[in-house]
Structure 1
Amino acid sequence: MRKRIRIHQARLGMFVEEMEGHGEGKSYRRGFLIASPQELADIHKSRIISLVIDTARGADVADDGTAVRVEAALLSRFSSNEIHTARALIQETKPVIHQLFSEARLSGLPDLAGAHQVADHIVETAQSSIVAIIGVSRLKTRDETTYLHSLAVSALMVSFGRSLGLPEDTIRALSVGGLLHDIGKMAVPVEILSSARKLSVSELAIVKAHPVRGHQMLRQFDELPPLVLDVCLHHHERYDGAGYPGGLEGERIPFAARLAAICDVYEAMTTIRPYKRAWSSAQTIEMMLKAPGQFDPALLRRFVSMILSGETV
């Protein structure tokens, strides 16, 4: 989407298509990513009147400083080419994921061909690009929250599975499971799912039924690995047995679901949403470590080690 903005709204990570009014003695190229603090400072100091940005190829206007900090962190970690590649993959797969979820909402039968297409794309992507996808997908609009959350959880599960040395066929199933873990939310009324207010008890009960509703959708497909069904049904179980829907405890919770629970919470807490600021990786890790009973402690330690080693963001 092309959008005209004032120069004070320019920030790192934006893709500039056009500029109106050049600064004295300064020539700016067109069609470029604002990839460094110096380049951003030059734009802010110039006599440019406005910029036309393409939000499909770069960052959108920030609502607060959180998005700016995320963009700066991305640019300090990845090259502009890696970020561009990640954004391109997101733009390519987002319509497929949208169709996948739309079919689930309309007919109760998600488009599994689309799920496998996206999962294969993630698995076959270089690890550095997968990590960039996880970072870039944190900048979500309200309309993108469900779709990009699923994409990011899938990528995070692939990264985590590889760090654990799991077999490649398991990695591929984890990727599909990550994409489909919240498919049951398509059975939740849109006005409840997109609400920024505190939900009532009855509304919360409807939301908490989404693992069961998703499992009902997915068990209609005989070709899906059991691991995918486990992730969908049990990713909200807690290690101490206080989760839902089954109240399973400890290793009674399927391994893939214990892995998914960690990735799901981490991605949700570190992402920017229209109604909340994102937590940093450090803040999120601290919160997760201080939540005894919620996660498999051995798996959580391995996940934290992966984050701290820089294998993901």
Structure 2
Amino acid sequence: MKKRVQISHICVGMYIEELEDRSHSRLDNRQFLITSETELKVVLASKAMSAVINTSKGKDVVEETAPAWNVVRSRFEVELDATFPASELQQARKCIETTRPLIKRVFCDAQRNGTFDFDSAQAVVETIMSDALQCASALIATTKLKEHDEGTFLHCLAVSALMIAFGRSLELEEEMIRDLGLGGLVHDIGKATIPLAILNKPGKLTAAEFALVREHPVRGAALLRGVPGISQTVTGICLYHHEKHDGAGYPFGLKDEAIPLAARIAAICDVYDAMVTDRPYKRGWSQSQAIAMMLDSHGHFDRSLLKRFVSQLVVGGSLR
């Protein structure tokens, strides 16, 4: 049986009878079975908007089912290649590989020894600040897809890069921007002091477990206090990034201007990255969906800052 499907529904194992481009002309007379991720990437990278598949010779499409993780990865790479220059993607990926062991060292030290490796954290932020001058958008976009074993590492990197980019768009002083980057990197450092059995628990947390997880801002700030070179701005990001503008947040229920500016910036960047992230167990929202939800979340964010985040980073094209 032949059927026409959206190009986004194509996967390995399908037999392609015909590809069509935007003008509805045939792109290729070749008929073929997609047998590998490499062949799938070629199809997804084409200008085709639809395809005719033959279900008697290959897989059928199940539109109600979310695409497999390997398909998500393939589409993600195709979209990156189509959106950013190769030089920016190369620099972004180099930044990720350079900072990966340093970020892991920071969290491992906190988890195993209850200490904070300031030198490694500072080296990460300096790398991000340098690379973000040329490829901030590509760096942030590259972190959107997070494998299970690197979710924490990439989330910290993404929030740090987002806060640096947002701080620069707000024309803040360089030292403040550096603190934003470091605060974004370590905003969840307190979770390193919570048992992994609780953090990775597949089912619903008990009331006691949930209360323990909500202690991570206080635990993180306690870990940072007294470390030579750590500013109050960085500690405040860690301590207050879950406070909400209407006072409904935690751990202290602060409202409005009582929440430090840096923590209000962190709240926006933290939630934005979490919402647009693709994970093996959850597809991320599109940028427009995430922004719409954040704008509808009255009382959660500083509205003035959120509007500037949207206008200067999203509408302005810094985030794609």
TM-score range, shorter chain: 0.7 to 0.9
Q: Is the Cα–Cα contact under 8 Å of residues 131 and 155 in structure 1 kept in the other structure? A: no
- Alignment correspondent of 1:63: 69
Q: Distance in 1 between matches of 2:217 and 2:201?
A: 19
Match of 2:166 among 160, 173, 179: 160
1:307 paired with 2:311, answer no
Task: Give the percent of matched residue pairs that are identical in Structure 1 and Structure 2.
Answer: 46
- Alignment correspondent of 2:98: 92
Q: Is the Cα–Cα contact under 8 Å of residues 163 and 265 in structure 2 kept in the other structure? A: yes
Match of 1:187 among 193, 204, 212: 193
1:251 partner letter: E
Q: Give a deviation string over 1:206-239, Cα, whole Å, max 9, x none.
A: 1111000000100021421111011000000000
TM-score (normalizing by structure 2)? 0.77
Q: Give a deviation string over 1:25-45, Cα, whole Å, max 9, x none.
A: xxxxxxxxx788149xxxxxx
1:234 paired with 2:240, answer yes
Residue 101 of structure 2: SS of its match in structure 1? helix
User: Offset of 1:309 from its aligned partner?
Assistant: 1.4
Q: Runs of 5+ in structure 1 lacking a partner?
A: 1-6, 10-33, 40-60
What is the total number of aligned residue pairs between the two structures?
265
Match of 2:175 among 156, 169, 176: 169
Q: Distance in 1 between matches of 2:216 and 2:156?
A: 14
Q: Is the Cα–Cα contact under 8 Å of residues 182 and 210 in structure 1 kept in the other structure? A: yes
1:8 paired with 2:12, answer yes
User: Offset of 1:133 from its aligned partner?
Assistant: 1.3
| RMSD across aligned positions (CA) | 2.4
Q: Give a deviation string over 1:166-203, Cα, whole Å, max 9, x none.
A: 11111111111111100000011112212343322222
Match of 2:221 among 215, 218, 231: 215
Q: Distance in 2 between matches of 1:92 and 1:8?
A: 33
TM-score (normalizing by structure 1)? 0.79
Q: Distance in 1 between matches of 2:171 and 2:246?
A: 26
Q: Distance in 2 between matches of 1:288 and 1:179?
A: 22
1:224 paired with 2:195, answer no
1:234 partner letter: Y
Q: Is the Cα–Cα contact under 8 Å of residues 66 and 278 in structure 1 kept in the other structure? A: no
User: Offset of 1:69 from its aligned partner?
Assistant: 4.1
Residue 12 of structure 2: SS of its match in structure 1? helix
The structure with the largest alpha-carbon Rg is 2
Q: Is the Cα–Cα contact under 8 Å of residues 291 and 310 in structure 2 kept in the other structure? A: yes
Q: Runs of 5+ in structure 2 lacking a partner?
A: 1-10, 14-40, 48-66
User: Offset of 1:295 from its aligned partner?
Assistant: 0.2
Match of 2:301 among 295, 306, 312: 295
Residue 94 of structure 1: SS of its match in structure 2? helix
Residue 259 of structure 1: SS of its match in structure 2? helix
Q: Distance in 2 between matches of 1:273 and 1:110?
A: 28
- Alignment correspondent of 2:117: 111
Q: 1:250 to 1:126 in 2, by over 3 A?
A: closer
1:253 paired with 2:263, answer no
1:111 partner letter: D
Residue 125 of structure 1: SS of its match in structure 2? helix
- Alignment correspondent of 1:270: 276
2:12 partner letter: H
User: Offset of 1:71 from its aligned partner?
Assistant: 2.9
Point out the more displaced range, 129-138 or 248-257: 129-138
Q: Is the Cα–Cα contact under 8 Å of residues 159 and 312 in structure 1 kept in the other structure? A: no
